[in-house]
Amino acid sequence: MPPKPYWNVRSDSRSPSAHFTRRRFLQASAAAVSGVALSNCARNLSTGSQGANSPEARGGSNSGADNTLHIYTWANYIDEELIQSFQDATGIRAIVDIYDSNEVMLTRLEAGGGSAYSIVYPSDYAVTQMIESDLLAPLDQSQLTGLNNLKAQWQNPTYDPGNAHSVPATWGTTGLIYNPELLGATLTGWDTLYDNIGSLTRQVTLINDVREVMGATLQYLGYSLNSTNPDEIEAAYEKLLELRPTIAAFLTNGWEDQLASGDLTVAMAYSSDALALIEENPGLEYVVPETGASLWTDTMAIPKTAPNVDAAYQWINFVMEPENSARLVERLKFATPSQAAFDLLPNNLKTDDDLFPPDSILHKTAEVAVVPPDIADLYDRYWTQLTSG
């Protein structure tokens, strides 16, 4: 019997999914990893400690010798079925570490973590940053299959022209998931929150991401999600201060149980997380704000100093196979950029406007783009004031 997939799950990671639900999978995975950790001294990324099972302890760039593939990703993009089917097909054992933000991943790779991982899953703007920082290996596209299956908008993305350093894996929107019964109204966007501040005290969570939150507020005020105008950025901060009494916490994850139980009324969330929770709690609803939202793409890329590059290409090709990609959509509820995979989906998923938004919604969205360092510092200063207030 082949060895079981190894998961290193962060307690604060972006919420995972599987056949059951993201929440239950996280609990089950953490329990499974605890058992592995007891016998193998596994490293937990949230503590930064290292043990015998860490990529570094196994020799970093030599880790390909034992036919393993080290992956650093968001938790909701890989489940045990994918890892096991990849291992069955290739004989390669995947070991997965989880992060909850691009910034965590970037910090780790900039500190030398690129020699520990063969595959990372950066978001669109992070790909741009990583190319500028010379952290990603140019892809040998002769070793890739399935790029011609990508939908037109991902054939030549602005964040990585020609997919020279990355392959799009998933995409979605950032919106609001809410409990209509508790809210007592139909939520169409941020206006609903501002109009109900008095009845929503500590009933709202916002994503713990400066560009997502500030960007959505900039759009609400009629500005660009990627504004570099200091006056507009200050206006967005001042507008968010009005909403501060409603904010229970800034959480990328951890809001799911509270929303499902009625302890929260509204959560800002990535569509993939929201739709998985709605599948379990159909009374909840997800909406892309009418004033606009971010449209994100998460990719697969190979660090410049990655071990076991051959296995990395095998992983990318395996995930890109239309049948495999379609099954991931069905299990994990995120949108695929592959037209060939989309064509294999059942009609109820193809016509799900929350999963695959129509053009009437997409034209209101924008990708988060890299801004100049001085503007990034300005965003960060306002964010620190907002989240520490």
Rounded CA-CA distance 359/350 in Å is 14
| Inter-axis angle of helices 373-388 and 210-220, nearest 10 | 90
Name the pTM for this structure.
0.78
Please tell me the number of Cα atoms within 13 Å of 36 on its side-chain side: 21
Of residues 91 and 4, the one with the higher pLDDT is 91
Q: What is the pLDDT of residues 275-288, one digit of tens each?
A: 989 989 999 999 99
Query: Residue 248 in 3-state DSSP?
Result: strand
- Provide the 3-class DSSP secondary structure of residue 55: coil
Q: How sure is the predictor about 380, in pLDDT bands with cuts at 50, 70 and 90? A: very high
Round to whole Å and give the CA distance between 92 and 95.
10
pLDDT of residue 244: 96
Following CA atoms 198, 200, 205, 211 in sequence, which dihedral angle do they give, to the nearest 10 degrees?
-40
Residue 103's pLDDT is 84
Long-range contact pairs involving 34-43 (C-beta distance under 8 Å, separation at least 24): 36/6, 36/7, 42/6, 42/8, 43/8
Beta carbons of 275 and 286 less than 8 angstroms apart? yes
Count Cβ atoms below 10 Å from residue 143 Cβ, excluding itself. Answer: 13
From 169, 196, 166, select the one nearest 180 (Cα to Cα): 196
Is residue 18 scored above 50 in pLDDT? no
Task: Enumerate residues 6+ apart whose C-beta is below 8 A from 25.
Answer: 16, 17, 18, 79
Cβ of 110: how many Cβ atoms within 10 Å? 13
pLDDT of residue 196: 95
pLDDT of residue 219: 97
Coarse DSSP helix, strand, coil percentages of the chain, rounded to the nearest 5 percent: 45, 15, 35
| Nearest Cα to Cα of residue 97 among 128, 126, 75, 113 | 75
Task: Give pLDDT, residue 66.
Answer: 58
Separation between Cα atoms, residue 326 and residue 230, nearest integer Å: 43
Please write the tens of the pLDDT for every residue from 86-111: 999 999 999 999 987 888 899 999 99
pLDDT for the residue 235: 98
Provide the pLDDT for residue 38.
Answer: 25
For residue 108 the two structure tokens come to: 């780790």
Q: For 188, which DSSP code? A: -
pLDDT of residue 343: 97
Longest Cα pair distance anywhere in the chain, in angstroms?
A: 62
Percent of the chain with pLDDT over 90: 72
> Beta 204-206 vs 293-301: how paired, if at all?
unpaired
Q: Does 172-295+357-388 match 6-171+298-350 at the fold level?
A: yes
For residue 267, report the phi and psi dihedrals to the nearest 5 degrees: -135, 135
Cβ-contact 308, 69 below 8 angstroms:
yes
CATH T-level assignment (fold) for domain 172-295+357-388: D-Maltodextrin-Binding Protein; domain 2 (3.40.190)
Q: What CATH number matches the domain at 6-171+298-350, 3.10.450.50, 3.20.20.70, 3.30.590.10, 3.40.190.10?
A: 3.40.190.10
Instruction: Name, in order, each residue with C-beta under 8 angstroms of 33's C-beta and a sequence gap of 6 or more.
Output: 6, 7, 8, 9, 42
**104: burial class by Cβ within 10 Å (0-12, 13-18, 19+)?**
middle
Domain ranges of the chain: 6-171+298-350, 172-295+357-388
**Alpha carbon distance 147, 162 (integer Å):** 10
Question: What integer best gives the mean pLDDT of the chain?
Answer: 84
31-45, 147-161, 360-374: the lowest-pLDDT one: 31-45
Strand segments, DSSP code E, in the chain are 6-8, 68-73, 93-98, 119-120, 166-178, 204-206, 247-250, 266-270, 285-287, 293-301, 365-366
DSSP string, 308-377: -HHHHHHHHHHHHSHHHHHHHHHHH--B-SBHHHHHTS-HHHHT-TTTS--HHHHTTEE------HHHHH
Structure confidence by residue, pLDDT tens digits, 200-228: 999 999 999 999 999 999 999 999 999 99
Amino acid, single-letter form, for residue 384: T
